[in-house]
C-alpha cells in the first residue's frame, strides 16, 4: 500500500509542524504532500525543515495564492503523476 495525504496550506506556521509530526506517526506509513500557496509566514520553510527528518514529506510550492480548490487540484495532479494508490485530503488546522 502506498497512501498519501494532501494538505493545502496558507499561513499555517502555528499548525504545520504538529500536523506533520502527527501524520508521520500514523500507521500505515503515509506519504504527505503539502501544497503551499506562497505563505508569507514561512510555512514552506517549516515543511522543508521537516523534510530533513522524514523522506515521506513532499512540498509543492504554488508560488502564489490560488485558493483551496486550486491547491487540491494541483495536489491531486501531482499525486496521480506518481505511484500512489490511495489519496487522502485534510486541512492543516486539525479539523478533520
Q: Taking all residues of the chain, what is their mean pLDDT, rounded to a whole number?
A: 95
pTM over 0.85: yes
Nearest to 60 by CA among 85, 84, 32: 32
Residue 17: predicted pLDDT = 97
Residue 73: predicted pLDDT = 95
Q: Express each pLDDT in 79-89 by its tens digit.
A: 999 989 999 99
How far CA 57 is from CA of 1, 51, 54, 70, in Å, comes to 17, 6, 6, 20
Instruction: List residues bridging with 9 in a β-sheet.
Output: 36
Q: Express each pLDDT in 27-60 by its tens digit.
A: 999 999 999 999 999 999 999 999 999 999 999 9
Residue 18: predicted pLDDT = 97
Residue 44: predicted pLDDT = 97
Amino acid at each position: 500500500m502506498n497512501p498519501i495525504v494532501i494538505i493545502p496550506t496558507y499561513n499555517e506556521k502555528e499548525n504545520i509542524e504538529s500536523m506533520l509530526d502527527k501524520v508521520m506517526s500514523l500507521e500505515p506509513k503515509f506519504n504527505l504532500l503539502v501544497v503551499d500557496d506562497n505563505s508569507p509566514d514561512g510555512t514552506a520553510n517549516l515543511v522543508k525543515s521537516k523534510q530533513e527528518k522524514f523522506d515521506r514529506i513532499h512540498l509543492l510550492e504554488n508560488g502564489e495564492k490560488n485558493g483551496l480548490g486550486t491547491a487540491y487540484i494541483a495536489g491531486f495532479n501531482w499525486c496521480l503523476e506518481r505511484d500512489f494508490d490511495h489519496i487522502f485530503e485534510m486541512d492543516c488546522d486539525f479539523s478533520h
